[in-house]
Structure 1
């Protein structure tokens, strides 16, 4: 893997997703008849790597899979999208698994069993330190052990995109290394509680997104992107400390499946940043990629390549002229 500018290295999870479609989500204790089931590649790390590669970035992934048949499913679209798998290790544990239920309204519930992803700790990341250090953008999430996240942030010499989802306890320095920290509004409240030293139960759930972003910036986070689903995204710190917040609306589309849309956003954001665009321009691009993804079933199969037309007004695409 070259250390040339423009590279994205994702340190994260690789899963198989079992996607069950239902007319509506079951209530506790209720049994429903599903309308379909499918096994697809997934995992936040793999999703984000595929999204970045499909949007033109030279991309590698650092992670772990099992020595099982599920690993072939989990890595199929990584390989097909041109992601460098040199630092994807096979370990003696089952490949990570996610049970995804998708309702007719496109909303989803997800239960993740980490499996082999638990092997992507500090030692595994240390073995891949040269490729992490050589990346223009290093992308991290919360589906691997915290010491792996910490080791990757320490090894990075380029820009760190931290999508702390799920929110797991990490050292304060890791959060402050993020540029940007990418979270949804619920995760933003949990990260803020972590920085305040509060119990997660005291997180400011329901607080205004603008207040959450300003509070995170006040703690010293370099930049913050709060994803807002169909409403788009809110950006703080795009032009340095103290600048006004930027709201980036999402194109209006008919959502079929929202699972993996946040990962499509993060991968596209990383690809744009690696290409040298501003954070504001990268978020505009990422919002359109996320809107494209929710119109299709599944995670990785729903991500656009550079040959696909993104929804929304025609605008300059940081990774490829116009779309």
Structure 2
């Protein structure tokens, strides 16, 4: 049995995604008919864990599900993707659920019912200093703070959904990942040591203490579903940086992974190994 730490350890949410695909998103008070309903494994944490496992061959998930059929389904989906679920606890609360409306262009509206995610605790969980830990904010901020305090190694925060962040947490982060809306909603990020910002079809950029130090364009893709694209980007960027790629190359690789995810209808899309994207972006760069 290997004693090497997983490629990424994710502390985060595990949800059942209920996705209604419609021609367009409803306005306030409006009812839209003709949608198609699907159920998928989801949650920002689980999405990132699955992406890391598919890209790098291993990942560890720290999270919580309910003792219901949905919880068992989420555990099976994680394990089937190669994620270590030994530290996913099963609680009496219901499994978290996200209600998602997606329009024909892949844009979405999401309401999350956290359920068991709100009761996640790190009691009994240990971290290896060699691990790379990735958190989001769909679990309680105290849990994220506890992970930041207890883990001595590389620590990454995907600061979504946006909220005010304690100075202690920002100072602890080796990397923060946000989209452009979240970057605008969290002014303190302008002082953070390293922040990656995604701009959808306009690519991504890296900032050190508010100064742009690298950027990479995104390729034009047919959009099927944007729900899991940002999560795939997060895992890919973390893995690329930890492999030693420079900021611009790492952003390019993560953009390519996110682009493939956007073109897939699932919140946890199939992905090629990370090396494929490294080679693909190298070829694209060479012909520019």
- The Cα RMSD (Å) is 2.5
Equivalent position to 1:125, from 109, 114, 122: 122
Aligned residue for 1:99? 99
Q: Distance in 1 between matches of 2:116 and 2:97?
A: 9
Matched, 1:294 2:265: no
Report the TM-score, using the length of structure 1 for normalisation: 0.81
Separation (CA, whole Å) in 2 of partners of 1:236 and 1:308: 25
- Aligned match of 1:321: none
Q: State TM-score, norm by structure 2.
A: 0.90
1:184-195 alignment, distance < 5 Å: 184-192=179-187, 195=188
**Aligned 8 A contact 1:150 1:170 in 2:** no
Deviations 1:227-275 (A, max 9, x none): 11111101113xxx68752121111111111111100101112222343
Secondary structure of 1:245's aligned partner: strand
Cross-structure match for 2:151: 156
Give the whole-Å Cα distance in 2 for the aligned partners of 1:135 and 1:234: 27
Change (3 A) 1:89 1:242: closer
Superposition pairs for residues 156-305 of structure 1, below 5 Å? 156-192=151-187, 195=188, 216-217=189-190, 219=191, 221-237=192-208, 244-300=212-268, 302-305=269-272
- Indicate conservation of the 8 Å contact 1:136/1:274, yes or no: no
Cα distance between partner residues in 1 of 2:196 and 2:156:
10
The superposition leaves residues 137-157 of structure 1 with CA deviations (integer Å, 9 ceiling, x where unpaired) of: 110100001100000011122
Aligned length, in residue pairs: 284
In structure 2, list runs of 5 or more residues that go unmatched: none
Post-superposition shift, 1:49? 0.4
Tell me, in whole angstroms, the C-alpha distance in 1 between the residues paired with 2:39 and 2:122.
28
1:82 Cα deviation after fit: 0.8
Report the Cα distance in structure 2 between the residues aligned to 1:15 and 1:98, rounded to whole angstroms. 6
1:22/1:101 contact within 8 Å kept: yes
